[in-house]
Amino acid sequence: QKEVEQDPGPLSVPEGAIVSLNCTYSNSAFQYFMWYRQYSRKGPELLMYTYSSGNKEDGRFTAQVDKSSKYISLFIRDSQPSDSATYLCAMTFSGGYNKLIFGAGTRLAVHP
C-alpha cells in the first residue's frame, strides 16, 4: 500500500465547474499538507499549505484536511481553462526539515 493515494484521473470538467481533488494517506504522523500544481513539462508550483486539520481558503482554492479520516481535499471554484494541469498532494512530518511524500497526481482538464 502506498503511503499517499491519489486518483490519477484524468478529470474533465466544463469551465465554471467546482472541482474536487482528493488524497488519502496511511501515516498518522503527517502534520503538514500541501497542494502543488504542475503544468506539462514544468516544475511543481506550491498552491496551498496547511498545518494539521481544518480548512484554508485562498481565492478560488480551498484546502481541507481531515486527520481523523486521513483524507485531504482541494476545491477549485469557478474553474478556468488555465487551471488545466496536474495537481499533486504532498505531506510531511512535524519537526522542521523533512522530505515530502507525494501522491501520483490528478490530471485535470477544464474545457471552455
Partner 1 sequence: NAGVMQNPRHLVRRRGQEARLRCSPMKGHSHVYWYRQLPEEGLKFMVYLQKENIIDESGMPKERFSAEFPKEGPSILRIQQVVRGDSAAYFCASSPTWRGLQETQYFGPGTRLLVL
Instruction: Give contact residues for partner 1 (rule: CB under 8 A).
Output: 4, 6, 8, 32, 34, 36, 41-46, 49, 88, 90, 92, 96-105
3-state secondary structure of 82: helix
Nearer to partner 1, 79 or 87 (CB): 87
Q: Please, which residues have CB within 8 angstroms of residue 3's CB and are 6 or more apart in sequence?
A: 25, 26, 27, 101
Task: State the nearest-atom distance from the C-beta of 87 to partner 1, in Å.
Answer: 11
Phi, psi values for residue 82, rounded to 5°: -70, -10
Nearer to partner 1, 10 or 16 (CB): 10
- Contact (CB, 8 A) for 73 and 21: yes
Task: State the nearest-atom distance from the C-beta of 55 to partner 1, in Å.
Answer: 18
